Amino acid sequence: MDLGVRKTRADETDVLMAMFDYSRNLMRAAGNRDQWVGGYPQRSLVENDIAKGQSYVVTEGDAVAGTFVFFTDEEPTYRTIHHGHWMDESEGYGTMHRMARSEGRHGIAAAAIGWCAQRTESLRADTHEDNYVVQRLLERHNFVYCGMIQLEDGSWRKAYQRMNYLTVTPQLRMYVEERILPLYDNFDEAHGRSHVLRVMAQSMALARHYGLNADMVYTIAAFHDAGLREGRDTHHVVSGRYIRTWPILRQWFDAEQIEVMAQAAEDHRASSLRAPRSIYGMIVAEADRDIDSERIVLRALQFGLEHCPEAGKEGQWHRMVSHLRKKYGADGYMKLWIPESANARRLEELRRLMEDEVRLRQLFERLYRPKQESGADDDA
């Protein structure tokens, strides 16, 4: 039976409280003992959600199968994010909270997320660091971990964001989500699904800034690393070949557009010695950098731990600092193409961090894990 979504009625509070009790027990059984404590969510909070029109139920026929909160007003705890950044930092977004289900009901999360995704370009959510079930669920539905947020009570939550690209042709969006994004699940962590979703988000933000064809930018970003399924060295060339030769893309693009997109995918690894051939290539090359100070330091450190495990802690420190200066310093080889991009601002933040040896060392000490397994490549 198909699942539906409607607003919660005032007389359904008891039904919701029973679902929250059941879902809380599932958390405890999964080892998550620190989320939804002290009777959370309290009945008064649930009643307030209903009164404000923010509480929804997922229905299966006449039965209430699940519940969630959704609103598009600002979420105060999302104003500041630590150890990362939101994929899209525009002011408009939707927020999901307090998702729960009845015993024996399935598909609730997919129905709730799908419903919310049709109503906002950007969707945010958060969960406890011990709630691995919800973390995996969010990631399966194309949410990307963005950093940590702090609640009013001082506790911390992992923050996630999903971009919905409502301006993209729906059939094209469905094809990419069902056929292209799953390719990235087979790549290394540095080039996995989270990476391509970040590249898509930054590319689309730049497309809006320049008033470019949203379908083209979306497709270029989605395909840019697809060629990794045939190896690393020339994957950018292979990605361009896919765009040129896969017949299905001709449903949405003419020959000239396909050639521009193929060249842009080939140019996503552009450097100071080889510039992109079009604004589309500049955008995907820029977005592919995805500059985040902590993530860049972590990837550089992980690379050293994997490839130079004998270096020791001080050796890893000096190797990491040397790499950061060579690539991201004022005279580094990494090239940014668009001064209006978020990357340009974040690069300046990274350079200030590199100049502050005390802060950089503190970050190194926090991230240094000599026995961690690492598959990241710091020169992506």
Q: Where are the domains of the chain?
A: 3-163, 170-289, 293-367
* 109: Cβ contacts below 8 Å, ≥ 6 apart: 66, 99, 137, 141
307 pLDDT above the threshold of 90? no
The burial class, CB within 10 Å (0-12 / 13-18 / 19+), for 204 is: buried
At residue 272 the predicted structure's pLDDT band, cuts being 50, 70 and 90, is: low
Position 295 pLDDT exceeds 90? no
- With pLDDT > 90 as the criterion, what percentage of the chain qualifies? 83
Question: Which residues lie across from 274 on neighbouring strands?
Answer: 271
Q: Which two tokens stand for residue 177?
A: 């989500």
Tokens 């970040």 locate to 198
Kindly report the pTM of this predicted structure: 0.88
d(CA 12, CA 61): 16
CB 58 within 8 A of CB 3: yes
The answer to whether residue 48 scores a pLDDT higher than 70 is yes
pLDDT digits (tens, 9 = 90+) for 5-28: 999 999 999 999 999 999 999 999
Let me know if 248 is exposed, middle or buried by CB neighbors in 10 A (0-12, 13-18, 19+).
exposed
Tell me the three state secondary structure of residue 269: helix
Token pair recorded at residue 297: 């330091």
Does residue 270 contact residue 288 with C-beta atoms inside 8 Å?
Answer: no
- Are 87 and 80 within 8 A, CB to CB? no
User: What confidence score (pLDDT) does residue 5 get?
Assistant: 98
For residue 162 the two structure tokens come to 């999903």
| Residue 282 in this model has a pLDDT that exceeds 50 | yes
So what's the pLDDT on residue 375?
41
Q: What is the pLDDT of residue 335?
A: 84
- Crossing angle of the two packed helices 193-210 and 214-223, in degrees rounded to 10: 160
Q: Which CATH code is given to the segment(s) 3-163?
A: 3.40.630.30
The residues, any chain, with a CB within 8 Å of residue 223's CB and separated by 6 or more, are 180, 239, 242, 243, 261, 265
Instruction: Say whether 120 sits in a helix, a strand or coil.
Output: coil
User: How many other CB atoms are found less than 10 A from the CB of residue 347?
Assistant: 20
Task: Please report how the helices 214-223 and 279-289 are oriented relative to each other, as an axis angle in degrees rounded to 10.
Answer: 50
Angle at 81 between CA 207 and CA 350, to 5 degrees: 70
User: 315 φ, ψ to 5°?
Assistant: -65, -40
The answer, yes or no, to whether the previous bond of 41 is cis (omega within 30 of 0) is: yes
Superfamily of domain 170-289 in the CATH hierarchy: Hypothetical protein af1432 (1.10.3210.10)
Q: How many CB atoms lie within 10 A of CB 299?
A: 22
What sign does the dihedral 135-185-327-219 (CA atoms) show? negative
**59 pairs with which residues across the strands?**
4, 64
| pLDDT tens column, 331-374 | 998 888 898 888 999 999 999 999 999 999 999 999 998 754 44
What's the rounded Cα separation, in Å, for the pair 161 and 157?
A: 13
